[in-house]
Structure 1
Amino acid sequence: MEILQSNTDHYFYSEDDFGRTELTPSYRVDLRNPMNEHLDKFINANLVSDWSQLTWKEVGKPYEVKTVAKEKREWENENGPMSVKKSWEFFNRSFHEWFVKDVPKEISKAKQKAWRYLSRFQMSEVKKALGETLRLSLWNYAHRIEDGIWDPRGKRALFEGLDVNRPRILFLGAAEGYEAMQLYAMYPGGEVVLVDYDEFCRTDRFGTFPESYPFLGTNPATGQPKVWYKDQMNIHYIVDDIRNLPFGKEFDIVISVGLLEHFPDEHKPEVLDWHRRFLKPGGYVIMTTPRYQLKSLLFYKIMADVMNHTYRELMDIRQMGLYVYEGGFEILRHGFIKVHNGIVARPR
């Protein structure tokens, strides 16, 4: 396994900045609520008291997102059906382009283009520029203003209270590895292993994740809140298929974010088994999926060319929980944050 760490030693934020939030051109910095006093604002838990009594007839099946990205349609017209791996490669590159944008600058440029084309009565170009402005404005709201994709306060609420010390954390389908870094900040001193089978995730999505991004966590010496940075963490990145991993039951936490909903029902038991396969006795499985809500429906409709390269479902927490329960897990905590469902579980 290769260790990827930076030599950067310039940190812009410290404990003196607790309570502060600000916008960078690409993302929000949020150092509010360092003690996690107000978790109920970010996760509503325990909606189901007895999972054994819940049925699919009662909750229905998830909503399948069927709108497909234009570049996937064009590729398939030339080459035939796109493989799952190729679909993920397209998605990762497309999605990453948005994370690194100077969003206010790009919105301004798109508006200027729309006015310029309008002055020339080039209406087809006006339509394209307005569509780009709409997508940029939605991304700005979802990622920068609301911080709904990373959602650090919501994720900390989901991760709070785990009985672990210096845990080994395995992240399946890790992309840039954000949630595992947040876990490391909260439970420092162990090890993070990120796994994705797209090399681009290692080199670009994780490799260019901003070194200056501050994670709120814990100082192990004092038990008090502390700001952590990516290059202070013990992180390894493996590029491989999850099914090829050599590990046994050796991780305290196995996590996935937005993985389960990419598999039709016939493959979900295998996906759930991946989480169990690498978990120590008494360890925790943490999973999230995108929520079924109006905001999410609009997001995946308007951002289709960015997001919709793979099979995808939107679930409510009861649907997600029923998959997890039927997969042989005891659900310890369940609920939802801004745009995700979240579950903490253990094998039964």
Structure 2
Amino acid sequence: MMENTLDLPKDKKPYSENDLGRTDILPSYRVDLRNYNEKEYNKFVKMNRINNWAMVSWKEVGRPFEVKKYSSDRLLYEKEKGKEIRPFTSWKYFNKAFHEWFIKDVPTEMKEQKQAFIASLKTFNPNQIRKTIGELAKIQLWNYAHRIQDGVWDPRGKRALFEGLDISKPRILFLGAAEGYEAMQLAAMYPGAEITMVDYDEYCKSTRFEEFPKTYPFLGENQSTGHQKVYYKDDFTIDYVVDDIRNLPYGKEFDIVLSVGLLEHFPDAYKPEVMEWHRKFLKPNGYAIMTTPRKQLRSKLYYNVMADVMNHTYRELMTIEQMGLYVYENGFDIKQHGYIKVHNGIVAKPR
């Protein structure tokens, strides 16, 4: 295994099949062309632990954890407007805040925040010191979560969640697509895919997706040889639609309907509608694929420290059992399920 820290040219495809097994830490993110060995797989991936979902109950698994520490932007908005922020507005705030962190030069930012902290100590101003400590904690946590652990994209983990589907050249519909990462990973795993990404914030199409690095390599399959192959964003067939999911004109025409971090943004009264969004666009025998953030101590810490970046909207953290109950009780049979570093994942088919 090779692990380097480096910059990549922005106009080239820097990796090929000769680089399988390699990982590099770039200023803003990590690229990873490794496969899990058996020890790593057993450490980071837990799959298909429940044999009979009909035997699982809410009394047994408890309720999801609602994240209630909101961003200062949301609190200020609601104070100035005198009313609760609308979901569309909160989503726009979140997209902008999150993307600004994705494009940071993290080593430079950490250096600057350390210098700011040292300078604040000389002021003997408790408020200034507290502020710089907070900013330093956030950049260090983001560095660990995204660049070191690679928990946000987690390509090896996502491949484990998505593998083994009985499909060829699938049509993929990504609901709430943001920058579209997971659909591109699926397209690498199942070559010849046609992707339709949907988000109702234009910023997701024009900025989050548009600025996703063309040099980022996705590890997938070479259909001709059965071996692994490296793909890039420009290798995929993608149509990006800016619209409300409820307005989409499609019928049951997709092999995969995908959502990542969507279900947990809706209170229980709305979850049946969210599940119906997945059902209504699926071909017979198609797959609904969903992920949500895990309910675990480090996730609670992350959303607390990173509240100004992450917490503009209603949000829950779930166990895989809680997520699975929402899926099963809303008319889906769960074909595979599991959790990786920071996400739950479920592949299901409508009953």
Unaligned runs of 5+ in 1: 1-7
Q: Select which of 258, 261, 280 maps to 1:258.
A: 261
Taking the aligned partners of 2:39 and 2:307, their CA distance within structure 1 comes to: 37
Q: CA deviation at 1:219?
A: 1.3
Mean Cα deviation higher: 125-134 or 88-97: 125-134
Q: Does 1:51 align with 2:53?
A: yes
Q: Give the letter aligned to residue 301 of structure 2.
A: L
Q: CA deviation at 1:323?
A: 0.4
Counterparts of residues 36-115 of structure 1 (less than 5 Å): 39-79=41-81, 80-115=83-118
Q: CA deviation at 1:40?
A: 4.3
Contact residue 36 and residue 157 of structure 1 kept, 8 A: no
State the partner residue of 2:282.
279
SS in 1 for 2:336: strand
Q: Give the letter aligned to residue 213 of structure 1.
A: Y
Q: CA deviation at 1:55?
A: 1.2
Q: Does 1:230 align with 2:230?
A: no
State the partner residue of 2:334.
331
State the partner residue of 2:7.
none
SS in 1 for 2:255: strand
Taking the aligned partners of 1:120 and 1:304, their CA distance within structure 2 comes to: 27
Q: Does 1:211 align with 2:214?
A: yes
Q: CA deviation at 1:190?
A: 2.1
Cα deviation 1:141-168 (Å, max 9, x = unaligned): 0000000010000000011111111000
Contact residue 18 and residue 34 of structure 1 kept, 8 A: no
Q: Does 1:304 align with 2:292?
A: no
Taking the aligned partners of 1:183 and 1:37, their CA distance within structure 2 comes to: 24
Cα deviation 1:2-32 (Å, max 9, x = unaligned): xxxxxx8621111111111110000001011
> What is the aligned-residue identity percentage?
62
Aligned positions, number = 341
Taking the aligned partners of 1:226 and 1:42, their CA distance within structure 2 comes to: 23
Q: CA deviation at 1:50?
A: 1.0
State the partner residue of 1:143.
146
Q: CA deviation at 1:123?
A: 3.0
Q: CA deviation at 1:41?
A: 4.4
State the partner residue of 2:33.
31
State the partner residue of 1:220.
223
SS in 2 for 1:283: strand
Taking the aligned partners of 1:260 and 1:36, their CA distance within structure 2 comes to: 31
Taking the aligned partners of 1:118 and 1:135, their CA distance within structure 2 comes to: 18
State the partner residue of 1:239.
242
Taking the aligned partners of 1:265 and 1:274, their CA distance within structure 2 comes to: 15
Cα deviation 1:276-298 (Å, max 9, x = unaligned): 00000111111011000011000
Cα deviation 1:216-235 (Å, max 9, x = unaligned): 01112212101000011101
* CA pair 37-212 structure 1, distance change in 2 beyond 3 A: farther
Counterparts of residues 178-217 of structure 1 (less than 5 Å): 178-217=181-220
Taking the aligned partners of 1:93 and 1:248, their CA distance within structure 2 comes to: 31
Cα deviation 1:222-272 (Å, max 9, x = unaligned): 121010000111011000000100100000011100100000000000000
Taking the aligned partners of 2:171 and 2:31, their CA distance within structure 1 comes to: 26
Contact residue 11 and residue 215 of structure 2 kept, 8 A: no
State the partner residue of 1:318.
321
Q: CA deviation at 1:35?
A: 9.9
Contact residue 34 and residue 216 of structure 1 kept, 8 A: no
Q: Select which of 258, 270, 278 maps to 1:267.
A: 270
Taking the aligned partners of 2:295 and 2:119, their CA distance within structure 1 comes to: 38
SS in 1 for 2:46: coil
Q: Give the letter aligned to residue 118 of structure 1.
A: L
* CA pair 304-336 structure 1, distance change in 2 beyond 3 A: same
Please report the RMSD computed on the Cα atoms of aligned residues, expressed in angstroms: 1.5
Unaligned runs of 5+ in 2: 1-9
